[in-house]
Amino acid sequence: MNLQISRIKTYIINLKERCDRLHHIKQEFENRQEFELTYIEGIKHAVGSIGLMESFKECIKDAKAKGLPVVLICEDDHTFTTAYTWEKLKAYILSGIYDHFDILLGGVSGFQNAIPYNENTFWVENFSGAQFTIVFNKFFDKFLEIDLTPTQHMDIELKNYTDNIFAIFPQISIQKTFGYSDVTMKNNTINVETYFKTSEERFKKILIIEGYYRRLNNQCMEEDLDFSIPTYIMPLQTLYDNERLKAEFKDKNEYNLKFVPLVKVAKEPIDRLNTLKNIVREAQIADEDFILVCDDKHTFTSDYSFSEFKKAIIKAYYLNTKMLLCGFLGEGNNILFLNSSLFWLDSFSKSSFLVLYKSIYQNILDLVPDNTLSYEDQLSSITSNKLCLFPIISASRKDSDIENQILTHYDPWNPTYQLNKERIEKLLKKSKILGMI
């Protein structure tokens, strides 16, 4: 295919009473001859999100009737950033055609996860911000099938219709704050530009992390060492069931179990952190290269294999990991798979089975307890060098069915979201498809 693009058909949606927005968007496209503009009067609906969805559909219907290969649909609050050039946008569009994108976004105000496709394009999992939306013709028919309820939003619901949504980086489009929103009520009181700044910083961080681990992966050694694991059992309450835990580790001679008393002087997060500090001090004295800290609700999952766990411990060590999570994660964000068994994540809210390497011991001892934060939040905050084993090999006893223990919720304005096995498997599969691992 030798497709050339000199202009792109562009539909601009505007409610006729929003003259301030119309003035703004005309200024944005002034003297930009690369855009073949058509202004569309927005469809009014009692529910603003449905009116916007129907307006988008009118644009898609017209593009389909004209046989267009690709179309750009803009909302009237779109604003170009200094990163925009026509040559760059043209290259991104051509890449999207060749690589079979369904949607390409000029900028997003929020997303729940992103995987670098190349240095200028990210695959995004759930997003908000459709003010600069490029739709490719292979997705026209599917787009027209979208049917929203009064509580749904088009950008968030698109995840149910396609898994091929990508975003441009650096972002070439943001939304201008007008002090009101015809679609999203919460944006009436918030400077929406701050959302885009947050997204931009998250994209930058993911690229930095991806580059860091790619270099380390290329230097990694494969070793098969024989070792046992110093394992500290930390109670969640003052008393715990020693016999059940001993039965859980029965015939697993690779673990040297030590049952640790809970320090009980303050609130739960501080007590657990002080207990962990006692464990770390003991590990320092014993000159342990790493330790395993396990809570008393731990149960091995059916995915547990000591040989695979041992490989992961060694691999993570050579990746300069300070913390290896192996249990129930709760909430987390910015997942990035490094290989089929390890992924990086920016934060976590729960872990029942945690490997701590010597390099983090002093960080833990220096951590000042904060009773306004959970124990896990405090641990998560002290290092970016944390990886997670997949599949997860530990679950909390009361939640041992890890397939069903978490009800998934979506809120693209909040990058932290619930992690379950199905979602993590989806990210692993997408990482493989995109050639990241």
- Phi, psi (degrees; rounded to nearest 5) at 98: -65, -35
Residue 22: give the domain boundaries.
8-213
SS (H, E, C) the chain: CCCCCCCEEEEEEECCCCHHHHHHHHHHHCCCCCEEEEEEECCCCCCHHHHHHHHHHHHHHHHHHCCCCEEEEEECCEEECCCCCHHHHHHHHHHHHHCCCCEEECCCCEEEEEEEEECCEEEEEEEECCCEEEEEHHHHHHHHCCCCCCCCCHHHHHHHCCCCEEEECCCCEEECCCCCCCCCHHHHCCCCHHHHHHHHHHHHHHHHHHHHHHHHHHHCCCCCCCCCEEEEEECCCCCCCHHHHHHHCCCCCCEEEEECCCCCCCCHHHHHHHHHHHHHHHHHHCCCCEEEEEECCEEECCCCCHHHHHHHHHHHHHCCCCEEECCCCCEEECCEECCCCEEECCEECCCCEEEEEHHHHHHHHHCCCCCCCCHHHHHHHCCCCEEEECCCCEEEHHHCCCCCCCCCCCCCCCCCEECCHHHHHHHHHHHHHCCCC
Structural tokens at position 287: 């000159």
Give the separation between CA 66 and CA 61, rounded to whole angstroms.
9
Within a domain: 250: yes
Closest CA to 353 of 388, 321, 320: 388
Within a domain: 3: no
* Mean pLDDT taken over the chain: 88
Q: Is 50 exceeded by the pLDDT of residue 178?
A: yes
Within a domain: 2: no
What proportion of the chain, given as a percentage, has pLDDT over 70? 89
Bridge partner list, 294 = 233, 353
CB distance 14 to 41 below 8 Å: yes
Q: How confident is the model at residue 395, as a pLDDT? A: 86
Q: Which residues of 373-388 are buried (b: 16+ CB within 10 A; e: fewer)?
A: ebbbebbbeeebbbbb
- How many degrees, rounded to 5, is the angle at CA 39 between CA 170 and CA 6? 55
> Of the candidates 172, 189, 213, which is a domain's last residue?
213
> Of the candidates 196, 213, 230, which is a domain's last residue?
213
What proportion of the chain, given as a percentage, has pLDDT over 90? 64
Give the separation between CA 251 and CA 222, rounded to whole angstroms.
27
* Shared-domain flag, residues 273 and 238: yes
pLDDT (tens digit per residue) in 122-153: 999 989 999 999 999 999 999 999 999 888 88
* Shared-domain flag, residues 227 and 329: yes
* Shared-domain flag, residues 345 and 414: yes
Which amino acid is located at 411 in the chain?
D
* Shared-domain flag, residues 231 and 203: no
pLDDT (tens digit per residue) in 306-350: 999 999 999 999 999 999 999 866 777 789 999 999 999 988 887
Within a domain: 111: yes
Bridge partner list, 165 = 103
Give the separation between CA 216 and CA 254, rounded to whole angstroms.
28
- pLDDT tier at 420, thresholds 50, 70, 90: confident
pLDDT (tens digit per residue) in 2-60: 577 899 999 999 998 889 999 999 999 999 999 999 999 999 888 888 999 999 999 99
* Shared-domain flag, residues 203 and 264: no
* Shared-domain flag, residues 128 and 27: yes
List C-alpha distances in Å: 140 to 74, 136, 153.
Answer: 16, 7, 18
> Of the candidates 213, 242, 266, which is a domain's last residue?
213
* Shared-domain flag, residues 205 and 243: no
Structural tokens at position 11: 């539909």
Q: How confident is the model at residue 173, as a pLDDT? A: 98
Q: How confident is the model at residue 295, as a pLDDT? A: 87
* Shared-domain flag, residues 145 and 244: no
The domain tally of the chain equals 2
* Shared-domain flag, residues 196 and 344: no
Within a domain: 1: no
Within a domain: 309: yes
The CATH code of the domain that includes 356 is 3.90.550
* Shared-domain flag, residues 132 and 229: no
User: Which carries the bigger pLDDT value, residue 243 or residue 398?
Assistant: 243
